Amino acid sequence: MTIDDVKIVELPKITDPRGNLSFIEQLNHIPFEIKRTYWIYDVPGGENRGGHAFKKNEEFIVALSGAFDVIVDDGGQKKVFTLNRSYYGLYVPAGLWREMDNFSTNSLALEFGSIHYDETDYIRDYVLFLKMKHNGEI
């Protein structure tokens, strides 16, 4: 996988004078079956999250509120995706290093995963990530 496999997905937006509505369907807007949903909130100013890669887990990230950056790195190239609208999502395949930073006050990051939580799926050491990428192990 490379950063070219990371995709911004525009979600449906039903505009309405009473308030807008968006939605997400698995295997439609999200290209995998959702096994897990979690969210990140109350991030103090200047903090960053998610410095790791996954061996198998695919992700879909939405800025439900506020804004933040997702930095994706395939071991060769890095790209920054700014999420700041609740009707856009970012698909991040497995095998890529990713970090999140620049969280705005009261931002809310909603994340969907393709597998249940499994610490053995994480690669938390960047040097190990580069090595595994180089060897074609991820």
Question: Active-site positions?
Answer: 52
Between 13 and 36, CB nearer to ligand TYD: 36
> Residue 99 to residues 28, 92, 133: CA-CA distances in angstroms?
25, 11, 17
- Quote the least distance from Cβ 11 to ligand TYD, whole Å: 21
Q: For residue 138, what are the CA distances in angstroms to 22, 48, 57, 67, 96?
A: 33, 24, 11, 30, 8
Least distance from ligand TYD to the Cβ atom of residue 51, Å: 7
Determine, following the binding rule CB under 6 A, whether residue 117 of this chain makes contact with ligand TYD. Answer: yes
Give the nearer residue to ligand TYD in terms of CB position, either 24 or 61. 61
Cβ-closest position to ligand TYD = 50
3-state secondary structure (DSSP) of residue 40? strand
Per CB under 6 A, residues contacting ligand TYD are 36, 38, 40, 49-50, 52, 117
